[in-house]
Structure 1
Amino acid sequence: MPVITKITQQKREKERYNIFLDEVYAFSVHESNLVKFGLTKGMQLENWEIEDLEYEEEIQRAFNRALHFLGFRMRSEYEVKQKLLHAEFGEAVIQEAILKLKRSGFLDDQAFSEALLRTQKNTTGKGPNAIKEDMEKKGIDPSIQETTLEEYDPQEQLATATKLVEKAARKHSTVAPTQLKQRIQNALQRKGFSFDIIREAIASVDFEPEEDEWTAITETTGEKAWRRVSIKYRGYDRKKRVKEAMYRKGIPFDRIDAFIEKKELEEDGE
C-alpha cells in the first residue's frame, strides 16, 4: 500500500499541493481536497482512495473552468453545462461541479433571469416575448421564465414601446404616416411586444406631418417613382404605375393626383 512520503506546495499555483508516494511524485491536489481527505505525511492510501481523490480533482478542475467562464459575465446553468461538455468533462463530474457552483452562490438561474430581463428591457428595449425567447435559448426553466417576466408589467411595456415609437417617428419624419406606422408595428413585433401594446403605443403618438413636411414627403416619394417608372412607361401606364407606387408608400390620393398633374404639366411645357 503506497505511503505519502512528501507534500509540497506548488510555486505558481499556491492553492495546489504535490503528493509524493514512496518518494516518487504521484499527483497534485487542490488544497480543499488536501483538507477534505486529511492528507498528511506518512498516511497510507488505498487504491480506492486514490481513485476518489482523482474524481474530486476532476470536479475541482471543472469547477475552476466554470468559474473562469463565469468571470466574464453571468451565465445560466445550461450555458455552463454546455461549456463543460465542450471541454470534455463527464456528465457526473459536470453535475457535481454545478452543484458546487450553486452552493457557493456562483450559479443561480433565478438571479440570472432577473438580470437578463433588466438588461434586455433597459438596454435593448425588448418586449416580453423576445426576452422569453432569449431565456429559452439560455435553457432557463419555464417556471422561472414565468415568474421573472411577471415583473415586466403592461404599463412598463407600454412606456418602453412608446419611447421606441417616438424615436422612430422623429428619425423617419420624411416617411408617410401609413407606411411609417406599418414599419414601426413590424419592428415592435420583432422586439417582442404584443399587438395590444403596439397598437396603444402607436395610437399615443401624433404622426401627422405639417403641410410643408407633407409636401416634401410627396415630392421625394413621387420623384423616385416617376424616374423609375419613366424608364419603361409613358402616358396612362406610367400614370397608373406611379399612382400605385405612391399609394403603397402611404401618400393620399389627392396629393398623388396633384403631383402627377404637376409632372405632366412640366413635361408639356418642355
Structure 2
Amino acid sequence: MKITKLEKKKRLYLLETDQNQKVYITEDTIVHFFLSKDKEITEEELKEIQNFAQQSYGKNLALYYLSFKQRSKKEVGDYLLKHDIAPELIPIILDNLEKEKWIDDLTYSQNLLYQNILSGDKGPQAIRQKLQAKGISQTTISQVLFHEDFSPVAKRLAEKLLRKYQDKLPYRALKDKILQNLIAKGFDYSEAKQALSQLRLEEDQEQTQELIYKELEKQHRKYSRKYDGYELKNRLTQALARKGYDYDTIKSALRDFL
C-alpha cells in the first residue's frame, strides 16, 4: 500500500493510505519510520506504525502531565488510561519514563516528605496513607519513613492549634482539643503527648471564668425556653461539662448565675 497523505493536524499528523486507512501519528513516528507521502508500506508496517504512534503519543501526554509537577507512577498511569491510551501499552510507556528518570517514586516520596517536614502538618500515618493513595509501594514508603523525625512537625502543629483555641476553650478542653487534632493528623498518642508537653500551657483562672460565663449565657438562652428549676440546672451542667469545664467550676458559675 502507498501513503497518500501526511498532513499536520494540531499536535498530530494524519496518515492516509490508498486503501482508505487513516491513522493519527506523532512527529516522532514520522522520524522513526522515515515516513513520507508516496512511500510504500506493508500491512505489518502499518501496524508497527500505529503501535509506535500510540506509545509516542502516550509518552507525550505523560510528559505534558509531568510538566506541571512531579507525579507518582500510578498517577501517570491513571492519567494515560483516562486519555484512552491502550492498557497494554501503558506499562511500556511507564517503564520508558522510569528509565529516563521522568518518573521516580522514591524521589517523589522523599520530596513529599521533605515538604511536609519543612512546612506541613501531617504525621507519619497520614503521610503513609497519602503515599499509599498515590500507589507508592510499601517497601518505598517504609524506606522513606524509617529514620524520619516528625517531632518538629508535631510541635509546629501543636503551637498552631494553641494559638487557634487558647482564647476559646478552658484548660482541660484545650489540651484535649490539641491532642485529638494531632492524632487526627496522623501522629500516634505518644508523639501527640510529647508535642503537648512542650507547650507553655497553664490554666488561667480569670480567662476560664470569662469563658464559662459566656458559654453559660449561650446555653441558658437555649435551654431556658424549655426548662426551669432543677431540670434547667441539670441541662446547663451537662452542656458545660461537654465543653470541658470541671464540676467545681460549673457549680460555682451556676451558683452565681442562677
Common fold: TM-score over 0.5: yes
Specify the TM-score bucket, using the shorter chain as the normaliser. 0.7 to 0.9
1:140 aligns with 2:133: no
Q: 1:120 deviation in Å?
A: 3.5
Aligned pairs for 1:219-230 (under 5 A) are 219-230=213-224
1:260 aligns with 2:254: yes
The two structures have a TM-score, normalised by structure 1, of 0.81
What code does the residue aligned with 1:117 have?
A: L
The match for 1:171 is 164
Q: 1:244 deviation in Å?
A: 2.4
CA distance in 1, matches of 2:88, 2:169: 59
CA distance in 2, matches of 1:43, 1:222: 88
Superposition RMSD in Å: 2.8
CA distance in 2, matches of 1:11, 1:88: 19
CA distance in 1, matches of 2:208, 2:3: 89
The match for 2:99 is 103
Identity of aligned residues (%): 28
Structure exhibiting the larger radius of gyration computed from Cα positions: 1
CA distance in 2, matches of 1:169, 1:192: 18
Q: 1:58 deviation in Å?
A: 0.8
Q: 1:39 deviation in Å?
A: 5.3
The match for 1:115 is 111
Summarize deviations over 1:26-60 as a string: whole Å, max 9, x none: 76754544454455899753322222122111100
The two structures have a TM-score, normalised by structure 2, of 0.85
Count of residue correspondences = 256
What are the ranges of 5 or more consecutive residues in structure 1 without an aligned counterpart? 265-270
Q: 1:21 deviation in Å?
A: 6.7
Q: 1:42 to 1:229 in 2, by over 3 A?
A: closer
The match for 2:238 is 244
> Aligned match of 2:60 in 64, 75, 84?
64
What are the ranges of 5 or more consecutive residues in structure 2 without an aligned counterpart? none
1:159 aligns with 2:152: yes
1:185 aligns with 2:179: yes
Summarize deviations over 1:69-124 as a string: whole Å, max 9, x none: 11222111111111111222212221221122112221111111112222344343
